[in-house]
Each structure stands twice: as C-alpha cells, then as structure tokens.
Structure 1
Amino acid sequence: MVEIGTGTGVSGIHLMRGMRHDGVLTTVDTEPDRQQLAREAYREAGFAANRSRFIPGAALDVLPRLTDGAYDLVFCDGDRLEYLDYLDESLRLLRPGGVVCFEGAFAQGRALDAAHQDPESLTLRELLRAVRDSTRLSPVLLPTDDGLLCAVRRP
C-alpha cells in the first residue's frame, strides 16, 4: 500500500491492520518529524519495523519513482490541490483490482456547493467528475466524516 500524507500515523495503523501479515505500507510525507511520530506510533501499535517504509519528500516527486502496477491500495491524504495528479499516479501504481482512496472529498461541504469557487473546492469537484467518468475505475463515495472517495481499478 501507498499512503500520501503520513501525518502522525493514525491512518497508517488502520491500513496496516487491514493488510496481510507480509504487507508493507509505503508512506510519503514532506515532514520528517511527522514520519518519526508515525514510526513510533506503529511500533507502539505492535507493528514490526519492516512493515513500513518511510519516504520523505513531496508526493509528486516520490510517486513517479515507485513501481508501476505493484500496489493494492493508494490512500491519498495529502495536498488536496494535487489530488488530480495523485489520481494519475495511482492509476499507474495500482494493480488491476487495486483501490485508490481520497480523504476529505467533501471539503466540509464546499466541494458539493457550486457557490464555493476556491481552488480546493474546484479541484475536488473536478476529481469527483474524473473518477465518476473514468472507464478505468469503478467508484464509490462514502459519506463518512468529510467524505471518502474510493475507486477500484478495473482490469
């Protein structure tokens, strides 16, 4: 799995709990301090160090270096203005049947209200349309918290 936006490790812990025992989480973040907090959280949650790989840097610099078609899931919780680029990279990274997820798809309701014309709302609306209209994806939008957009990469 690939996680864009390590944060303090909360989502990574949940992702690793859902993985096979030999699965590895590759997590990317621009903040090395956050990655250190996540590394400690993973250890305290009982995960071996070889279950996670931390790559510091901007997602759009790191993702092109990852192996094509090698991942089962890409979880996007980074810069929402880059979500469309993350989608492009995810399509390359995912195996057929793999899943891409975008946290915060509703932007606290702004993405669903045409009156909001800020860059983040516009980008999220474009992402929602791109995923919906893609012939390579089968999407679902979950109304959890701030919205979770997921899509399965079709064979």
Structure 2
Amino acid sequence: MSNKTLGLSPQLHDYLTSVSVREPELLTQLREETAKLPMSRMQIAPEQGQFMALLVQLMGAKKALEIGVFTGYSSLAVALALPEDGKLVACDVDKEYTAIARRYWEQAGVAGKIDLHLAPALDTLDRLLEDGQAETFDFAFIDADKRNYANYYEKSLQLVRRGGLIAIDNVLWNGRVADPDETDKRTQAIRDFNQKLYGDDRVMLSLVPIADGVTLALKR
C-alpha cells in the first residue's frame, strides 16, 4: 500500500499537495494521529480524500456508503462534503479504530450524518438490500479486505442508483499488480477484480492513478 500517489517523485508529490490540497484542520489532525498507529499504511492520501469529496459534491450526492472505515479519514472527508440532510452508512468490524473515527466525526459536527455498522460488511449490505434500499445510494467507497472486493462490488452495484458512482481503493496495490512475480492471494484477488471490472458493461469505468489507485465505476 502507499499513502502517496504512485509514480511521482517525493519532490513532485510535495509540490502537488502544496498547490492543490486544501485539507481542513481536523482532517490534518486525524491524519497525523493515524500516522502514529501500527497500521498507518491503511490511511488514504489527503489528495484522494479531497478528490472523493469533490466527486460527492459534483454528483449532488445525499446518500453514501463506505465499506472499510479504519480511523475515519475518508468517511469524514465524504461526510463534510454531503449536505446537511445527507447520510453516510459506514461498515467496519474494528471498535478500536472506529472509536478514533467517532471522536473526529463528533468534533467536526458530522456524527449525525454517519450511521456506523460494526459487523461484517457483507452482512450489513445484505440487511440494507433486505430493507428495500437497493438503488437508493448515490456514492459508495470500497476500501476493506481485498479478497472480498468482488463481493463488496456486486452488493454495492445493487445498492447504488443508476448514475451512481462506486469508488474502489488500492487497485494498483503499490505496483504489485503489474509484477508477475507477485503471486500472493491479495495481489491476485486485486488483479482478478481489476480484470472483472474491465469487462463489466454494467458500468462506465476509469482507473485513476491517484494515491494507490482508485477505480471509478459509474452505474449505467
């Protein structure tokens, strides 16, 4: 994983962020706190968070879904971009990391927009579908266990409306997806997932080389 855009020199990456990233103070504080954690590599890049917030605003999204919360940087970025009556359904299983997320959501005044489900994400997605919420979400972000990416994607595709957007993180996997010598299960799962989406005519597709690679799938 990488928390910086692949293919940029450190000097160019610093320049990119210096002239483009307008990170709210709370997001900076959250990113800095997360950087001290053992699993800090799971943190998305600030330019990616800003990009996702821009997409949400461009779409006029009101209802969003997040699969994989960690310490809440992406959910906070999205919630801040949602309107006052917006809602974000967030899925995770880790109470310790999401406790950090909750603290920042409260400080930012967006906790009322976020509905956190502490349960296996596939169970939560199934419950949403059973509750009649198919095709009611505008935006979904997938950033959880890689071997379930295909399953999360299929459920998300049912939950987002036509014209809704699914964003999937880590699709370049720090460059390992392009290395034939990398044969571990997670790398192969992402390769298989990328190939699946390439052939999926249910969506319009763009893989954006920001941070560790983000695929955008627009439901037709």
| Normalised TM-score (structure 2) | 0.67
Q: Identify which of 99, 109, 124 aligns with 2:165.
A: 99
Q: Does residue 123 of structure 2 align to residue 39 of structure 1?
A: no
Q: Distance in 1 between matches of 2:82 and 2:199?
A: 29
Q: Distance in 1 between matches of 2:117 and 2:178?
A: 33
Alignment partner, residue 20 of structure 1 = 83
- Runs of 5+ unmatched residues, structure 2: 1-63
Alignment partner, residue 150 of structure 1 = 216
Q: Distance in 2 between matches of 1:114 and 1:137?
A: 28
Q: Which moved more, 1:17-26 or 1:143-152?
A: 17-26
Q: In the TM superposition, what is the alpha-carbon distance from 1:36 to its structure 2 partner?
A: 2.1
Q: Distance in 2 between matches of 1:64 and 1:26?
A: 13
Give 1:129's aligned amino acid.
Answer: Q
Q: Distance in 2 between matches of 1:99 and 1:114?
A: 31
| 1:1-155 paired onto structure 2 within 5 Å | 1-47=64-110, 49-66=111-128, 67-154=133-220
Q: In the TM superposition, what is the alpha-carbon distance from 1:31 to its structure 2 partner?
A: 0.8
Alignment partner, residue 59 of structure 2 = none
Cα deviation, 1:55-112, whole Å, max 9, x if unaligned, reads: 0011112111112111111101110111011111111111001111111111111112
Q: How many residue pairs end up in the alignment? A: 153
Q: In the TM superposition, what is the alpha-carbon distance from 1:33 to its structure 2 partner?
A: 2.3
Give 1:128's aligned amino acid.
Answer: N
* Structure number with larger C-alpha Rg: 2
Give 1:112's aligned amino acid.
Answer: A
- Runs of 5+ unmatched residues, structure 1: none
Q: Distance in 1 between matches of 2:78 and 2:67?
A: 12
Q: Which moved more, 1:78-87 or 1:26-35?
A: 26-35
| Normalised TM-score (structure 1) | 0.93
Q: In the TM superposition, what is the alpha-carbon distance from 1:37 to its structure 2 partner?
A: 1.6
SS at match of 1:149: strand
Q: Please state which structure has a larger fraction of its residues in helix.
A: 2
The alignment's C-alpha RMSD in Å is: 1.2
Give 1:60's aligned amino acid.
Answer: L
Cα deviation, 1:103-137, whole Å, max 9, x if unaligned, reads: 11111111122221111111111111111111111
